[in-house]
Every structure is written in structure tokens, then in C-alpha cells.
């Protein structure tokens, strides 16, 4: 019976995380962690480690799918990733110096608001418009935005995928598919770094939960990424908006169980 419950919880956690990753570059930790903590009573640190590990393959496969369809900006993605990783460490250090914040629900509300934003005001930027931005300006924007995302992630501990998508589309002016592709490319590396550090510090997690979450997240992320790359800009905006809004509401409900 315990194994059955694990399979069911991990399936729905992987379903939500995979769809969020494949459609919107969302971090799996935003969905999987609260599910494992609430329904399986898993320690928070272990749950985050499992979620980050699930994110690695799902984000990597999604990035490959977006890249194969020429919807990935690797060069600026690497610049942004370096800034994200650097300032995540800075944010973590600053967070250790201040009292506990009450911003734990930040990423949940951000997910819902971003979902509504994509439905009401879709991103219709074209690749031609993206190409018109100078290389120097794009690099500077990538460093500044990556630094902001990294610091907030390190300080709050969540919300990286959502903030990255928001900044890529709103500030850097990315076309939606390229924004998601670049976001999952960066998340694959940041999730790997986070997962390894969690397991090194906290020890091995529940291997059943780890295997199930990795498998289900990977499966649904692959399905979502394939659909997203074939969809029109209007359809993808609507799909991303619906997925984020529903996931945000679901995570909020899960948190109320705690």
C-alpha cells in the first residue's frame, strides 16, 4: 500500500513538474517538493534534492527538443547561466545573515500571475525582432537578468524558472519558444549543481521516490516539449498560461494541506 501511494503521488508530481518544465521552463522543485513533503511526509531538504534531480534530465531533454527545433539561444544562455550560478551563491550567503523571510509562497503566486499574464497578454515577439538586438546589448542584459534571478533564487530558494521566463520574454524580448528553450537549458545545469550539493550534504534520498519522480517528470516534459515546438505562438501562449495558472492553484491547495 505504501508503494502504491508513492507511485500515485510521484506520478502526479511528475505530471505537473514535467508539463511545467516542457511548456514553460518551470523548475520541477516548485511542484514536486510540496507534493512529497505534504503527502509522503518527506523531509523538506530531501524533497528538494529529489525535485532538483528530477529537473536535470527533464530540462536536458526539453532543451534538446527546443534546440533541435532551433528554439534555443546557447551563447547568451551560457552567459546568463554563469551569472545565475554566481549570484545564487551570493544570495544564499546574504540569506544566512538575515532573519527567516516569509516569502515561501512567492514562487506560487508568481506562477499563477505569470500564467494569467500569458493568457491575457501573450508574447508575440518574432525571431526577426530578436535578431535586431545588438550582441553587446544582449550580453549585458543576460548578465544583469541572470544576476537578479540568481540572487533571488539564492535568497528565497525558489522561483528561478519562472523569473527567468519572465525576464527573457519581458526584458530581453525573446520569442516565447526560444525563451522556454533557453530557460530549460540553464535549468538543467543549475538543477544538477543543486541536486549534487543536496545529496552530498543530506545523503541518499528515498530511491523509489527518486526513480519514480525522475521517470514521470522526464516523460511528461518530453511530451510537453514536443507539443510546444509544433504549436503556433498563440496556442503555446494559451497552453503555457493554462498550465502555469492550474499548477500555481494546485500547489497553493497542496500547501494548505500542510
Please tell me the distance from the alpha carbon of residue 87 to that of residue 186, in angstroms, as a whole number: 14
Range of the domain at 217: 2-257
The per-residue pLDDT for 221 is 95
CB-count exposure of residue 143 (10 Å: 0-12, 13-18, 19+)? middle
The per-residue pLDDT for 78 is 94
Q: What is the pTM of this model?
A: 0.85
The per-residue pLDDT for 101 is 47
CB contact burial 159-189 (16+ within 10 A = b; e otherwise) = bbbbbbbbbbbeebbbbbbbbbbbbbbbbbb
Q: Kindly state the DSSP code that residue 132 receives in the 8-state scheme.
A: T
Please tell me the distance from the alpha carbon of residue 189 to that of residue 192, in angstroms, as a whole number: 5
Q: Alpha-carbon Rg of the chain, whole angstroms? A: 17
The per-residue pLDDT for 247 is 85
- Read off the C-alpha cell for 143: 548578465
**Quick check: 202 and 216 in contact, CB under 8 A?**
no
Residue 212: Cβ within 10 Å count: 22
The per-residue pLDDT for 167 is 87
Please tell me the distance from the alpha carbon of residue 171 to that of residue 164, in angstroms, as a whole number: 10
Q: How many domains does the structure of the chain reveal?
A: 1
- What is the chain's pLDDT, residue by residue, as a tens digit (258 residues)? 588 899 999 999 999 999 989 998 888 877 888 889 888 888 878 888 898 899 999 999 999 999 999 999 999 999 999 998 888 888 777 766 765 544 455 667 777 878 888 888 888 887 888 888 888 898 999 999 989 888 877 666 565 777 888 889 888 889 999 999 999 999 898 888 888 887 888 788 889 999 999 999 999 999 999 999 999 988 989 988 898 888 888 888 877 776
**Quick check: 125 and 174 in contact, CB under 8 A?**
yes
Amino acid at each position: 500500500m505504501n508503494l502504491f501511494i508513492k507511485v500515485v503521488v510521484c506520478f502526479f508530481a511528475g505530471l505537473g513538474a514535467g508539463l511545467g518544465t516542457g511548456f514553460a521552463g518551470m523548475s520541477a522543485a516548485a511542484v514536486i517538493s510540496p507534493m512529497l513533503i505534504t503527502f509522503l511526509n518527506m523531509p523538506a531538504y530531501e524533497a528538494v534534492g529529489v525535485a532538483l534531480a528530477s529537473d536535470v534530465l527533464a530540462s536536458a531533454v526539453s532543451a534538446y527538443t527546443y534546440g533541435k527545433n532551433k528554439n534555443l539561444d546557447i551563447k547568451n544562455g551560457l552567459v546568463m547561466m554563469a551569472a545565475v550560478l554566481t549570484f545564487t551563491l551570493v544570495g544564499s550567503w546574504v540569506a544566512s545573515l538575515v532573519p527567516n523571510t516569509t516569502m515561501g509562497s512567492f514562487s506560487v503566486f508568481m506562477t499563477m500571475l505569470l500564467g494569467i499574464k500569458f493568457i491575457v497578454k501573450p508574447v508575440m515577439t518574432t525571431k526577426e525582432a530578436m535578431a535586431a538586438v545588438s550582441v553587446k546589448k544582449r550580453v549585458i542584459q543576460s548578465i544583469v537578468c541572470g544576476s537578479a534571478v540568481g540572487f533571488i533564487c539564492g535568497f528565497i530558494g525558489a522561483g528561478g524558472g519562472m523569473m527567468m521566463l519572465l525576464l527573457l520574454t519581458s526584458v530581453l524580448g525573446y520569442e516565447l519558444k526560444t525563451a522556454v528553450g533557453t530557460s530549460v537549458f540553464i535549468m538543467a545545469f543549475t538543477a544538477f549543481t543543486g541536486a549534487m550539493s543536496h545529496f552530498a550534504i543530506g545523503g541518499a534520498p528515498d530511491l523509489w521516490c527518486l526513480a519514480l519522480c525522475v521517470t514521470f517528470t522526464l516523460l511528461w516534459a518530453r511530451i510537453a516539449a514536443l507539443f510546444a515546438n509544433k504549436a503556433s505562438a498563440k496556442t503555446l501562449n494559451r497552453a503555457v498560461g493554462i498550465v502555469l495558472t492550474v499548477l500555481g492553484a494546485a500547489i497553493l491547495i497542496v500547501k494548505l494541506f500542510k
